[in-house]
């Protein structure tokens, strides 16, 4: 605060006595940052080559530092220090964004480029039955089945519960109970997946249950319910009150208003929320390790016997530590990431297409 005011005071007298033609102070041309960038990259690469550095990251870092220094110095000289600070902040913010993009690009690129090596019809249609870790065969079929069944059951369990809870919070909820539910839904979204797995595990230990896909689905639904509640709640809040009031004024009972007016209006957003929740739990590994145990063979029955799942399969293959197993892990990772990303894209597509027309 204090700095800015003094800065302004220092600055203000300057343009006043200046000659008539220019009311504004001197400023750099708009494309000046590009010039700085060119200069600093040239300098950075030059110095790096001279110093004999090999890492491209170091080249990039040096160039970035030179860029910051050059633009700060030049701006201070030509404009003033406040402008220089502004430019510095702009550059830093841009760098932050670029820094975040690098790992995403690297991760996606590695997954796709390593994944396509092994990904084919054979990989998708065969299990790991009788395949040794170092052998370059085997596939992901059993894991695909496991993931689809576990996620399917989890969705069937959590979507209605989540939906009804959201309806309660938005349409009925008042008082201490509603506040408690809201708070614990928020807290529940932060439960680590491994704790959800441990919870089901402790039930299994107490009740003497065997590991199965169903147990995994139960653990996954603990993770899924709060996500569904949160997104559905947001969507229901967007439904204009005029719609509810109009229906109520016609004498329609409240539950029919909810079923026939509120939910259909928000259905696009609710679908999106459920799909994003599915995308989230499809990638969960930790609960599967604890309560489904994994399996090399095809087990299509989620209610009895150990099963595999895509994320578990990736972990299992990674732990083998052989080249062939790494290849399988990357191929499975590509399958999983494609599944998750497609769900994400479709969900957001639906959200845009079916967005409720709000009065706001």
Partner 1 sequence: MASTTPADTPPAPPVPGPGSRSTGRLGDKVFLGLSKGSGILLLVIMASIAVFLSYRSVIALSDNEGNFLTTFEWNTAGDPPVFGIAVLLFGTVVSSIVAMVIAVPIAVGIALFISHYAPRRVAAPLAYVVDLLAAVPSIIYGIWGALVLVPYLEGLNSWLDEFFGWTYVFEKTEIGIPRSLFTVGILLAIMILPIVTSVSREVFLQVPRMNEEAALALGATRWEVIRLSVLPFGRSGIISASMLGLGRALGETMAVATVLSPNFLVSLHLLNPGGGTFAQNIAAKFGEANEFGRDALIASGLVLFVLTLLVNGAARLIIARRKEYSGANA
Interface with partner 1 in residues 165-184 (CB under 8 A):
165, 167-174, 177-178, 180-181, 183-184
Please, which of residues 75-134 interact with partner 1 by CB under 8 A? 82-83, 85-86, 88-90, 92-97, 99-101, 103-104, 106-107, 110-111
Contact 162, 225 (CB under 8 A): yes
Q: Can you tell me the distance from the alpha carbon of 41 to that of 60, in angstroms, rounded to the nearest whole number? A: 8
- In angstroms, the Cα distances linking 298 to 139, 142, 305 are 11, 5, 10
What value does the CA radius of gyration of the chain take, rounded to a whole number of Å?
29
CB atoms within 10 A of CB 269: 22
Helices (H), the chain: 2-11, 32-51, 56-78, 81-118, 121-125, 141-167, 175-189, 193-207, 213-238, 241-249, 254-257, 263-282, 286-291, 310-320, 323-353
- What's the min distance (Å) between Cβ of 108 and partner 1? 8
- What's the min distance (Å) between Cβ of 144 and partner 1? 15
Pick the stretch among 44-52, 131-139, 161-169, 209-217 that binds partner 1 (CB under 8 A): 161-169
Please, which of residues 236-295 interact with partner 1 by CB under 8 A? 236-239, 241, 244-245, 248-249, 251-256, 258-259, 279-280, 282-286, 289-290
- In angstroms, the Cα distances linking 211 to 10, 130, 132, 258, 331 are 73, 22, 24, 39, 27
Please, which of residues 325-344 interact with partner 1 by CB under 8 A? 326, 329-330, 333, 336-337, 340-341, 344
Q: Is 138 in the site for partner 1 (CB under 8 A)?
A: no
Pick the stretch among 40-48, 128-136, 185-193, 264-272 that binds partner 1 (CB under 8 A): 185-193
**Closest CB to partner 1 among residues 69, 188:** 188
Please, which of residues 25-54 interact with partner 1 by CB under 8 A? none
Q: Is 163 helix (H, G, I), strand (E, B) or coil?
A: helix
**Closest CB to partner 1 among residues 110, 300:** 110
């Amino acid at each position: 605060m204090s700095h800015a005011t003094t800065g302004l005071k220092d600055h203000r007298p300057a343009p006043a006595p200046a000659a008539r033609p220019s009311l504004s102070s001197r400023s750099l041309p708009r494309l000046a940052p590009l010039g700085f960038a060119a200069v600093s990259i040239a300098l950075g690469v030059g110095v790096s080559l001279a110093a004999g550095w090999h890492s491209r990251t170091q080249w990039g870092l040096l160039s970035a530092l030179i860029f910051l220094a050059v633009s700060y110095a030049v701006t201070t000289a030509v404009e003033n220090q406040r402008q220089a600070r502004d430019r510095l902040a702009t550059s830093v913010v841009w760098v932050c964004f670029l820094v975040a993009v690098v790992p995403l690009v690297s991760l996606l690129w590695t997954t796709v480029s390593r994944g396509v090596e092994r990904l084919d019809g054979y990989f998708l249609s065969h299990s790991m039955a009788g395949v040794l870790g170092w052998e370059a065969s085997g596939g992901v079929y059993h894991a695909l089945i496991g993931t689809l069944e576990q996620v399917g059951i989890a969705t069937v369990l959590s979507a209605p519960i989540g939906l009804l809870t959201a309806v309660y919070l938005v349409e009925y909820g008042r008082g201490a109970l509603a506040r408690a539910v809201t708070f614990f839904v928020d807290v529940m979204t932060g439960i680590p997946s491994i704790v959800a797995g441990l919870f089901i595990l402790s039930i299994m230990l107490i009740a003497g249950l065997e590991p199965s896909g169903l147990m995994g689905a139960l653990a996954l639904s603990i993770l899924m319910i709060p996500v569904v509640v949160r997104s559905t709640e947001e969507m229901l809040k967007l439904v204009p009150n005029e719609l509810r009031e109009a229906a109520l004024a016609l004498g329609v009972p409240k539950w029919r208003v909810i079923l026939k007016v509120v939910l259909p209006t928000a259905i696009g957003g609710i679908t999106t929320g459920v799909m994003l929740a599915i995308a989230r739990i499809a990638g969960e590994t930790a609960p599967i390790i604890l309560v489904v145990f994994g399996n090399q063979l095809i087990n299509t029955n989620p209610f009895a016997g150990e099963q595999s799942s895509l994320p578990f399969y990736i972990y299992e293959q990674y732990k083998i530590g052989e080249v062939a197993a790494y290849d399988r892990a990357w191929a499975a990772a590509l399958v999983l990431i494609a599944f998750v990303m497609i769900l994400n894209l479709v969900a957001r597509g639906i959200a845009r297409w079916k967005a409720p027309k709000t009065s706001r």
